[in-house]
Each structure stands twice: as C-alpha cells, then as structure tokens.
Amino acid sequence: MKKTVKIEGLDCPNCARSLQNEINKIDGVNNAEINFVKSKLSFESNDVNKATEEIISLTKKVEPNAKIILEKNNKNKTNFIVDLILLVLGTALGLVALLVNLPTWAFWIIFVASAIMLGYKTYIKAILLLFKGIINENLLITISIVGAAALGEYMEALMVIFLYTIGKILEKLAVDKSRKSIEKLTNLQPEYAVIVKDNEEIEVTPNEVQVGSLIVVKPGERVPIDGVVTEGDATLDMQSLTGESVPVSISKNEKILSGSIVLDGVLYIKTTEEYKNSTVSKIMNLIENAQDKKSKTETFISKITRWYTLGIIILAILTLAIGWAISKNFDTSIYRALKLLVVSCPCAFAISVPLSYFSGLGNASKNGILIKGSNYLDALSKLNLLAFDKTGTITTGEFQVQKVESLSENYNEEDIIFLASLGEQYSLHPLAKSIVKANTKKLEKVKKVKEVAGEGVHYEYNKNKYFVGRKNKKHNISVEIYENDVLIGKIYLNDTIKPSAVDACQQLKSMGIKLCLLSGDNKLKVESVGKKLGIDEVHSELLPQDKFCLIEERKKDKKNFIGYVGDGINDAPSLTLADVGISMGINGSPASIEASDVVLGDDNIEKIPRAIKISKFTRKIVWENIIISAVVKLTFLVLSLVDVASMMLAVFADVGVTLVAVLNSLRALYYKPKKK
C-alpha cells in the first residue's frame, strides 16, 4: 500500500536526499521518495501505520529540524517565529553575559543558555548524526563553539553560532522563495470538474471524467481536462502553462488545455483526454520528478561534501598536532585548528550548487519549459548541433489551402472548394478536414458516398457523379475534383511553418548552434522549408531508423553535443539517443514526451533558445559560486593559519560567502533571457 505525507523543515536538497536514503533502509519500507519541491514523502509498505511510526522516529534522529505532518496545520510559520524569538533572546543573553560584570556561576549559566538558544538545533543534529556515523558541517560548528569557549574566547564562540544561525535562517528564506515559485506551477492541479448531464451540473473529481464528457467551466475556475470548446467564448490566463502573461481568447471548436484559468465567460467543453493524459497532469508529473535527476556537478558536490568534512577534521587535528609540536603552545595551536574548522565549513558548496540548479529549473518551468532534471539543464548549455523533425515540430502539422485552380468555365474557385467539401465532409483524412474548413458555403447531404483508401471520395450531387482525391506533386500537395470523369479543378495545400520557427532558428544560429532538418517528406518540400528557415543541413525521405542512424553517426564525433526536437511516436528512438531530447508538450505523443529530456509546454520552439540561455546562465551561476567560495575559503584558511585572521573574521568569511552564494543562486530564478 502506498502512502503520502507532508514533511516540513527540510531546507536543502542534500538533506532531503540523505533522509530518503535512510528511510529506504527501514525494513518493510519500499520506494520511499521525498519531493523537495512539494515537501512530500511517499512510500510503500504492507503495514503503513507501523512504517509511518518508524519513519517519524527516524526523521527525528536524522533530521531534527524536519517533521512528518499527518494532518493539515500551519506549524511551519509558527516554527519560523519561534526560531526568530530564540535568536533574539539568545543574542540578548549573550550580550548580558559578555558586557555585564557577573559572578562566574551566573556568567556560565547565562552564556550556556545563550549558546543553546542560538544553536540547539545545530548541536542536536550534530550529535544524532555522529551516532549514525555521519559527519557534516553541524559537527564542525559544534566543535568550534566548544573549543572557543574552552579557550576563553567567549565572544567568538557566540559569534560563530549567531552568524551561523542567521545564515541558516536566510538560507531557509531563500530556499522557500525558490520553492514557492515552483509550487505555483503545482497549483495547476484542479480540485474538481463539473460534468453537464441531463441539463444538470454534477461536481466530480477530475479522475472520474471520461473522454467525450461535457464539462462546464465558469469565470475564475481552472480548466480540469483537455478538450474542445462546444459552446461559449472566453479569455484565458495561460501563464502557468506557457509562461506568457498576455491573456488568450478562445471560442467554439477550438482546443483548450487543462490548467488554463477562465477569466470571463462560460465555456462548455467536450473532453478529449482522460485526466491522467491531460496537459496539467503531464506537467505535474514532470515537475515532481525533475529533482530526481542531478547534474554531474551537483552529484559531485553532494558526494565530496560527505568526505570533505571528515577530511577537514583530520586536517584540523594535524594542524593542532604540528603546531603544538613546533610552538609548544597548546592554546595557540588549538585556536588555529578551530579557525580552520570554521572557515572550511562546506555550507556554501552544499547549499548553493543544488539551489542554483533548483532555481534554474524553476525559471524554466515559469517559462513553460519543463526540464526533467538538473543534468539535462546542464546538458542544454553544451549543445552545438540541433536536429529538428519537420511535421508538427517546425511546421504546424495542419494543412491549409494555399491555392484553388478552376479548370471549368462553369465554376469559380469558391465553387470548386464547395464541391470538394461535399465529399470531403464524410472523410476523416487531414487534407479533407482542411478543405472543409476552407469552405464558406452551407454544405448539403450527397448520395452514394464511397471512400476509397489512398484514392479519395466518390459521391453523387445534383444527378452528377463526382470524385475528389489527392496526388503528391513535386513540391506541394494537391487534391483534384472530377465531375462525370472530367477534371474541373485543383486544390493546393501546404503544411505551414510555425510562426515562431523563423525567429527560433535565427536565435539558435546566433548562438553558434548548427541546425539540421530531418524529415520523411519529399526532397523539394524539405529543402524549401530549410531554405526559409536558414537551416544548415537538410535530409529528406527518411524513415525513423534513418534519423536514428544519422544521429548515431554524428555522435561518433566527440566534438558534437546533439539535441533532437520531435513530436511523434516515430521520433522516440532519436529523442532517446540524442544528448538532449526535446519534445512538444501539447501535440507531442506520449511516447515522445516519455523519451525526451525537455518538454515545451505550448509546442513553441522559440522556447528552445530561451531554455539554452537559462541553462548557460545557471551553469555560470554554479561555477561562480564554486570559484568564489573556494577562493574566499582558501584565502581565509591561509590567513587563519598564519594568525592574520581571527576566529570572528573566519566565521564572517564562512557565513558571508555562504550568503553571497545563496543570493547569487537566486539570480537563476529571476533571470530573463534576452533575444539577440
């Protein structure tokens, strides 16, 4: 049996991952996953109640700051207020202890009370984790405080824990800011749907709505399931889906996506998907699973911090031993060792790197770009070759009438469209639908309708026999209309290029990315599209396996880092093979969405250069944080060892660089890519 509970107080992705690993070690608990974004823990167990109790007990030991919440409450805000009150009281008591002339016993009572109020969570966590064989920055800080107090450096001892606690509070605020930004997207999930049945409105859960049901959505409500508008006009807020703030108008016979908010008007919608396959459900799944796939940089930092802390403690012990052996001064030697512990604390690395990627993923999501993990966010920045599928990706996949040619004196162009539509209204072929859509006259019923697959439709109208069919030409698609076996007209159709495609290709080329068009269509048509878009390399008449082989061949050159953009089930192999697979979120097939690494929420390929720019900026932020933290820590490490920097300066350096790194990480959340 599966259960999901709320978990609060986890303020860093690494903490969440460590706790998740520990929970999975509990007997009888399987597939435990902590969703850092939504602050939720899900797990499977045959005895859920017993497993929940063990998880609560383990959480208290491993992550004292975290709490499993079984019922709805508002403790998170209360805990934050309590932390602030304790910080103020602890600081006040510390000032009394340091500035007022007190008896020794009174001094120690007030000093210890101050130190406990300022950092009790840090000490408890350090001790509990130490019993489990885990050494991290909490232990470094605890040792530093105890050591400084033992040496009589009382002000420095309190400053260490005061600044560290301030830093942790600010880190929490930064993480919450980033988390809430992403949580706005998870609020897309509708709570109910209203079905219209026998002129009655029935409120049900979205999962209960079947394909083909009629639902109604009123002003202020969120569309629960994808469908087609059957009645009504409205303005939609689609910012959560597409990242665009401008409202969109919608009317009868137009597709509507779940997650859209109806601003005005009442819409009646015929559902075309089950809830689990609707746009909002896909987006929810992608957002919730994005944290599970880490970049190499993030994974490396996560692994190295486990051993880094132990290494720092060993180095501090060696510093103490060597300094004592040389100077014969124990107090000076241990003071240097304690400064080394403080200045070497890995907080800046441990929090800023995952927070940078977390912010970058949140920024992309706000822009309607769903990236399945920080490893793919990282990979986007390295692309130098991007291959596109044509139909449905570069082009709309919907045919439009480009030209009508009448070959009879009895009929004009409008008549030719009308006569063709009389037969095509009975066909489900995409070309037939496009012709019927272009017709402006009222259609009538015709007799003896017979559709021949691969040829066209035969029918009778006004005692004449008609045939409407299609033939592939060199560079276009035409449909011919015959009256009593005499050709009376031709209708030329074309698959139109997406409006965003030209701008997207120009931006990508300006970024130094080589573009490639892969299509199963005929050579002249593909070359025409490629020329209009300025694409560097064009390949036509390809089968799915040909596209796969072409990408495989390009990957043999280690200099190439390849992305593939597609929307169909036939694109799935190529999406999987490419270094980064990018699929369409609305019209993309389930197979292509599953196989891809990046999903464009509104099928707008102009989002691709935007995604790459966010990726490059996030990667830049990550390395800025790593380099700044390393340089500052190394500088103050040397200054501390040669007695130029005091303990207080060391802690300022540690907390200061952590805060700089955290604030710098948040830039990835608010970065707005500019067009070149």
Phi and psi, residue 4, nearest 5°: -125, 130
C-alpha to C-alpha distance for 31 and 2, rounded to whole angstroms: 9
Give one word for 454, left, alpha or beta, with left for phi > 0 and alpha for psi -120 to 50: left
Cα angle for residues 316, 319, 323 (degrees, 5° grid)? 150
List the beta strands (DSSP E) in 278-342. none
Q: Is 510 exposed, middle or buried (0-12, 13-18, 19+ CB in 10 A)?
A: exposed
Q: Are 555 and 562 in contact, with CB atoms under 8 Å apart?
A: yes
Q: Are 91 and 44 in contact, with CB atoms under 8 Å apart?
A: no
C-alpha to C-alpha distance for 668 and 185, rounded to whole angstroms: 17
| Helix boundaries (H) for 387-457 | 413-424, 430-438
| CA-wise closest residue to 21 among 53, 43, 6 | 43
Q: Are 173 and 181 in contact, with CB atoms under 8 Å apart?
A: no
Catalytic site residue 389? yes
Tell me, what DSSP letter sits at residue 39?
T
Q: Are 262 and 220 in contact, with CB atoms under 8 Å apart?
A: yes
Place of tokens 């697979």: 581
175: its two tokens: 């993480």
| Four-residue CA torsion sign, 338, 340, 343, 344 | negative
Phi and psi, residue 205, nearest 5°: -75, 150
* 3-state SS, residue 492: strand
* Farthest-apart Cα atoms in the chain, separation: 117
* 3-state SS, residue 656: helix
Tell me, what DSSP letter sits at residue 443?
P
Residues 6+ apart with CB under 8 A from 429: none
Give CB contacts under 8 A, 24+ apart, made by 656-659: 656/632, 657/348, 657/628, 657/629, 657/632, 657/633, 658/167, 658/171, 658/345, 658/347, 658/348, 658/351, 658/352, 658/629, 659/167, 659/170, 659/171
91: its two tokens: 């600081």
C-alpha to C-alpha distance for 234 and 139, rounded to whole angstroms: 59
Q: Are 460 and 448 in contact, with CB atoms under 8 Å apart?
A: yes
Residue among 389, 495, 579, 602 flagged as catalytic: 389
What is the three-state SS of 596-611? CCEEECCCCCCHHHHH
571: its two tokens: 């694109």
Q: Are 495 and 489 in contact, with CB atoms under 8 Å apart?
A: no
- First-last CA distance in the chain: 53
Sheet holding 456-461, edge to edge: 395-406, 486-497, 477-483, 464-472, 456-461, 447-452
C-alpha to C-alpha distance for 381 and 668, rounded to whole angstroms: 14
Helix (H) or strand (E) holding 515: strand 514-518
Q: Which residues are catalytic?
A: 389
